[in-house]
Amino acid sequence: MAHTISAEMVASVHSIAVAPGDQVAAGDPLVVLESMKMEIPVLAEHAGTVEEVFVDVGTVVQEGDALVALA
The residue range of the domain holding 32 is 3-70
**Residue 67: pLDDT band by 50, 70, 90 thresholds?**
very high
Amino acid 48: pLDDT: 96
pLDDT band at 17 (very low <50, low <70, confident <90, very high): very high
**The domain that contains 39 carries what CATH number?**
2.40.50.100
Instruction: Work out the mean pLDDT of the chain and round it to a whole number.
Output: 96
* Distance (Å, whole) CA 28 – CA 10: 21
Whether the pLDDT of residue 1 is over 80: the answer is no
For the chain, give the number of residues: 71
If one counts the domains in the chain, the total is 1
Whole-structure pTM value: 0.91
| Interatomic CA distance for residues 5 and 44, integer angstroms | 8
C-alpha–C-alpha distance, residues 57 and 65, integer Å: 14
Q: Report strand pairing: 23-24 vs 48-53.
A: antiparallel
